[in-house]
Amino acid sequence: MRKIYVIGTTHDMLPKHTQEFKSLLEKYNPDMVLVEIVQADINKNKIKNRYPREMIYALKWAIKNDKAAKGFDVRYKMVKTPSKEVKRAIKEFERKYTYLKKLDWKDFNNIENLIVGDDMFNSIIDTKAELRRERSMLKNIKKYLKNAIFPLMK
């Protein structure tokens, strides 16, 4: 029986938690690593400076350790406000939620921390486009998992 593990990360966890992240990957030693990167960018090797460090690290770890690696992200235009407003909203978020800087990536896997900032998020993001993106990502994940679990039943 195959096991599926989800390691939730935050976009600023590396380099501070590199060793901890590496030890989790080594402990679970997955057959496949799925990362929130567009697969076309992986295929064209266009990931540097486009994606957060932990995603690139997980992808490189998989490749180095001869594991299957797939990107499940999709491109959608989701920002609905001009960049000035986005910057203002981010500053307001940082001011309002200063305590978040004290939290680490494990803290963000607690449900009470997942809803923080929804008010700011909803003001700058097209939530319908975000929902379409999330559904497309889930579809990709399902496809990759199905092919990994039942490789001969295509």
CA pair distance 132, 124, nearest whole angstrom: 16
* Residue-range definition of the domain harbouring residue 91: 79-125
Q: What total of structural domains would you count in the chain?
A: 2
Token pair belonging to 9 = 């990360």
Please give the model's pTM, rounded to 2 decimal places.
Answer: 0.78
Verify that 38 and 110 share a domain, yes or no: no
pLDDT digits 0-9 by tens, 25-52: 999 999 899 999 999 999 999 998 899 9
In this structure, the answer to whether residues 31 and 61 fall within a common structural domain is: yes
Looking at per-residue pLDDT, the higher value among 116 and 47 belongs to: 47
Same domain, 107 and 43: no
Could you tell me if 13 and 50 lie in one domain?
A: yes
Are 69 and 144 contained in the same domain?
Answer: yes
Can you give the pLDDT at residue 28? 93
Residues 10 and 84 in one domain: no
Q: Are residues 136 and 119 in the same domain?
A: no
Q: Please check whether residues 69 and 8 belong to one and the same domain.
A: yes
Contact assessment for residue 124 and residue 81, using Cβ atoms and an 8 Å cutoff: yes
Query: Is 139 found in the same domain as 110?
Result: no
Closest CA to 70 of 137, 19, 133: 137
- Residue pLDDT, tens place only, 54-102: 999 999 999 999 999 999 999 988 888 777 888 888 788 778 777 777 7
Same domain, 54 and 112: no
Position 105, amino acid: W
Kindly state whether residues 21 and 72 are assigned to the same domain: yes
- Pair 73, 21 in one domain: yes
